[in-house]
Structure 1
């Protein structure tokens, strides 16, 4: 489909937010829902940067625009539920404006139709492939959804993550009206973020980061050391999920590889395996030479 629509991969390859370590304040982040005094979240958004975003963004250094709540927008706006052309026009106009202003786009909370439309919008370089991050959840299980994103020419993004188990006074706990959020599995979140080929977005409190964990993803300049393709679930896992019958693992088995000067270095990640499983080389999806 990428070939049919002629999707240009150069925008994805050159997207700074995919290639370099960033800092994120979205769902699950320490500073999520941190509004201006006496203002709602919506008022904060609109007052600070929403008006004339693409027109003015280059003046203050914006490089990527995130279109969030795409499914909600589609389902609740009269134009997109009553006219078959409005939804595509919305995305195409957004993409054209971003391209003319030298920006790239991340899709978030989108339907498959949105992602497939991005085949015609090369500046859509990345997309969220899982529900909103919440510390203590399995917000690293992107192995299946990443297959679809990669097929559409979009780098999968799992969302932000904490690099420390506890983030005192974080805004997400306030948002959820709880005080006991923790993230005990920081390492796997960092690993999956790095191997996804999408953005890597630690979202800790300032001064409360596990620097050594974060820096495993990149070199000293922040360049992310990503594999040649996103890490995804092996076919046997998907078969097991769909049909059962002990044809695949009861758990997650993801693989990817790095091609460096025509040498293939495979990566295998297995987690939450409930029963023993023997992984055969031919089932990894990695084209390796067997000695």
Structure 2
């Protein structure tokens, strides 16, 4: 299962896309975190302050307190949360050299630091999990072609389930088995039915590879004992010129990515939900949308989407 295998190149392209998007969003979050920490660094003194006013837009609060051995101080703090009630006592962190530079719970600088650190942690976990899943998928397929070969009559079917279409090899003998395989152009011109070589017995093994002429088909999932649900399209029994013409339109990765693009449709909605829960506004929505879209393309590559 080397780099020449279409499934490997497709999956690596999707992995690279996810890493680039995660890196770009992480860089923006890191800049925001760095700016917030620079603003918070001088605030080394602590005290108790009283809220004397809240802005008309509820985005600022004016507080007063008396630092030790100093005159009473006052500061107006920008907020990114529900403001405290006027007259409430709140903890305050301030700059001893410049008491007007202060924060209270819910201050925009504190929220920005917490949000950015949380985003960086989420992005790191996402990237690591994605790489581990990809590595496990790759390693689990490495030795399949060294298994004993058996000849099995099959038909190739394309099944559309939701937004994802996949290629399956359905055995003709009883009991039938359904083997999901990563797409190869050779599947388009496979007559129905055709006897092909399996590495491993699909009636006994959970993962089996197959071969059509010189093309090895790797499994995109486990052998199924029941008919996959979805809209089914069978290969024709006779391959004519129109069928062969479709092979040329599916040979590159660009047609594959175009076919997978439909999977990114839910990404803006998921980004909106993330921004709503996170309270991060437009930039949180954009970052979550980009990461969700990239992960959707990676998931399509991992599960073996069919662009034909």
TM-score (norm 1): 0.20
Q: Which has the larger radius of gyration?
A: 2
Higher relative contact order structure (alpha carbons within 8 Å, sequence separation ≥ 6): 1
Q: Which has the higher helix share?
A: 2
Q: Which has the higher strand share?
A: 2
